[in-house]
């Protein structure tokens, strides 16, 4: 059985990060990186300030880069591609670009550096770094996710598909279940060797872009990203999340692991603000929801829809460009939303930089 290590890491000081990462590496099946090219995929959903907890923290990334160099890695590539990436990848605000430069690594822009892969009968551009590297590491952030309940080490690799190329995939795989099965295929195509989750400061509430930072105080790592994501979900207080449910259905036992350090069952945060919390499933709402689902074109029609907060909107058009259903347009400086077209993928909510989209 694979090992999944969770260890205390109270803050982002170099000493705490170095100790935690080494403990994880020493207690799991970490790959030999000596003489190898290593590609590290952090979560850079948007180039946001570190204190917002949207991105994998730059200090955690820097600590890992140092360890990889010390263990003999000869070349380090770091990269991600947010859904609305239109121009050259920017990672200055998050400070990720700074540590990449400081550690002699290279920031790869997947819009410019990609190769076509075949996934599920589709020809999809994916980060060239996946082909160039000997070792691939997913370095995710501990966050809730409006569609998938939680985002973790498996879903993190969806970002290897550059920018807006991801948008039609949301339209094609529109329910959490079909999207989860597709994410598994993307993950398999990435041939990930190891995964970490930065859970020193996580995100609760309406993640992955608009939630609230929450101190969790641990770092997590495993060769088995499904076990890592299952542990993350458990710590957040979910009974299960769609990704783990579908993964277990398709491949029983895929998320099984032993925990040589901290046990996630002892780290459950009952008051963690999860997706769906506060929604009361009364008998009436369950019956209405079931009937709606039966007749729905899109499935899961009882899920909440996005709501646009006009006062916060700056008409930046990011939501319009990402919307896979073409349900949005800007008119007279405001977003116009065609409810009937919406497939409830929440990409708009994920990408809005001004907290102008709620999901209710």
Q: Residues interacting with ligand SF4, by CB under 6 A?
A: 306, 308, 313-319, 322-325, 327-328, 335, 342-348, 352, 354, 356-357
- 89 or 313: CB nearest ligand SF4: 313
Least distance from ligand SF4 to the Cβ atom of residue 209, Å: 10
- 146 or 222: CB nearest ligand SF4: 146
Least distance from ligand SF4 to the Cβ atom of residue 247, Å: 24
Q: What angle do the packed helices 242-250 and 176-190 form, to 10 degrees?
A: 70
Least distance from ligand SF4 to the Cβ atom of residue 337, Å: 6
49, 97, 200, 348, 351 from 316: Cα distances, Å: 19, 24, 32, 12, 11
- 44 or 68: CB nearest ligand SF4: 44
Maximal C-alpha separation, the chain: 62
- 38 or 169: CB nearest ligand SF4: 169
Least distance from ligand SF4 to the Cβ atom of residue 355, Å: 8
CA distance 203 to 172: 28
- 13 or 312: CB nearest ligand SF4: 312
Taking the CA atoms of the chain, what radius of gyration do you get in angstroms?
20
CA angle at 64 for the pair 202 and 253, rounded to the nearest 5°: 65
Least distance from ligand SF4 to the Cβ atom of residue 6, Å: 33
DSSP string spanning 324-356? TT--EEEETTEEEE-GGG-----HHHHH-TTS-
Least distance from ligand SF4 to the Cβ atom of residue 296, Å: 14
Token readout for 347 is 């990409």
- 95 or 344: CB nearest ligand SF4: 344
103 neighbors 180 (Cβ within 8 angstroms): no
Please choose, from the candidates 43, 78, 87, 302, the residue with its C-alpha nearest in 3D space to the C-alpha of residue 197.
43
Token readout for 248 is 């277990």
């Amino acid at each position: 059985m694979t090992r999944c290590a969770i260890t205390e890491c109270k803050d982002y000081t170099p000493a705490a990060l170095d100790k935690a990462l080494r403990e994880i590496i020493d207690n799991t099946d970490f790959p030999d990186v000596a003489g190898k090219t290593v590609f590290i995929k952090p979560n850079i959903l948007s180039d946001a300030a570190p204190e917002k907890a949207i991105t994998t923290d730059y200090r955690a990334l820097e600590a890992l880069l140092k360890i990889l160099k010390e263990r003999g890695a000869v070349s380090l590539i770091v990269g991600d591609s947010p859904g609305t990436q239109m121009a050259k990848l920017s990672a200055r605000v998050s400070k990720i670009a700074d540590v990449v430069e400081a550690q002699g690594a290279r920031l790869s822009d997947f819009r410019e550096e990609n190769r076509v892969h075949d996934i599920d009968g589709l020809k999809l551009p994916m980060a060239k770094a996946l082909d160039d590297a000997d070792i691939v590491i997913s370095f995710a952030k501990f966050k809730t996710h409006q569609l998938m309940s939680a985002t973790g080490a498996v879903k993190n690799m969806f970002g290897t598909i550059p920018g807006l190329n991801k948008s039609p995939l949301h339209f094609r795989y529109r329910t959490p279940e079909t999207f989860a099965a597709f994410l598994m295929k993307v993950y398999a195509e990435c041939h990930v060797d190891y995964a970490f989750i930065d859970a020193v400061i996580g995100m609760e509430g309406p993640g992955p872009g608009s939630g609230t930072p929450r101190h969790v105080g641990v770092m997590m790592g495993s060769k088995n990203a499904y076990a890592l994501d299952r542990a993350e979900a458990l710590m957040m207080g979910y009974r299960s999340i769609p990704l783990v449910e579908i993964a277990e259905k398709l491949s029983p036992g895929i998320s099984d692991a032993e925990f040589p350090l901290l046990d996630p069952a002892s780290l459950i945060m009952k008051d963690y603000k999860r997706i769906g919390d506060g929604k009361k499933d009364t008998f009436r709402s369950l019956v209405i929801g079931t009937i709606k689902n039966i007749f729905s074109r899109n499935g899961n029609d009882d899920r909440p829809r996005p709501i646009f907060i006009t006062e916060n909107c700056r008409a930046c058009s990011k939501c319009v460009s990402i919307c896979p259903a073409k349900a949005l347009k800007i008119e007279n400086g405001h977003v116009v939303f065609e409810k009937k077209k919406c497939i409830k993928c929440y990409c708009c909510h994920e990408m809005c930089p001004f907290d102008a989209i709620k999901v209710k």
